[in-house]
Amino acid sequence: MSIPKGIALITGSAQGIGRGIALRLARDGFDVALNDLPNKDAKLDLVATEIKSLGRRVCVIPADVRVDREVKEMVDNAVTKLGGLDVMVANAGVLTFASLLSTTVETWDRIFSVNARGTFLCYKYAAMQMIEQGRGGRIIGASSLGGKIGFPYNSSYGASKFAIRGLTQVAALELGQHGITVNAYAPGGIETPMAESMMDESGNVDLAKIFDDPVSRKWVVALLENVPIKHAGQPEDIASIVSYLASKEAHFITGQCISVDGGISMN
């Protein structure tokens, strides 16, 4: 087994984008700590088997990113099992569609507890470990197209993803002195298990499943019609930008939220 490029921890890595990121970083030469909820152990084990086949060390660390103690223990366990932490990818997230008027406080708090608080805790404990190690590091979070453009029926999710952009900028300002870069990625439409709930039987986005009113559906249709790249994205498309942000070559990039959405959001 070759000397690892570093040690990476990816949350929400049982499936979808997180799985794609974990496999890509393993191919890049990183040893990998996989995280997701305890009820996804079987899927995590499958990803771990794939990573072992690539000749890299891997460990599975179930934890709930909403819980302060569990996130700290997750980082500590990754360090104990693999020998350190060089890349933290705070990828775990949840999505719920509801109009502003029908969104409950409970829904709002649930979305924020995973997407915003979970990312904050991952940033915090990863940064503490990286500072202690004294060799810098890469912290990478999951924002969204919905964290750059307001979408109807998307208030709690969109607000949580906008929050990640602000958190990323603040963390970049504070941690740069320690050689730690902090960036985020903002996916557009990516074919993942999370997206399946929005599809019809033919595999196309069924807007009627999401938006109750025709005005919202018309707005989204008009937006999607103007996308320069017409096909849906794949988890590998997100993994490729994470691969670069995790590399030594990205040492002069920090505080950014990079869109990977086929050109919907241009800035």
Task: Tell me which residues are annotated as active site.
Answer: 157, 161
197: number of CA atoms within 13 Å, CB side? 6
Beta strands in 105-234 (DSSP E): 137-142, 180-187
User: How far is Cα 262 from Cα 10, in angstroms, rounded to an integer?
Assistant: 24
Question: What's the chain's length in residues?
Answer: 267
**261 with 161: CB under 8 angstroms?**
no
What token pair was written down for 255? 């505080």
What token pair was written down for 148? 């750059």
What token pair was written down for 3? 């000397």
Pairing of strands 87-90, 58-60: unpaired
Q: Output the CA angle 12-139-170, nearest 5 degrees.
A: 115
- The secondary element (H helix, E strand) that includes residue 34 is strand 30-34
Residue 34 class from Cβ within 10 Å (0-12 exposed, 13-18 middle, 19+ buried)?
Answer: buried
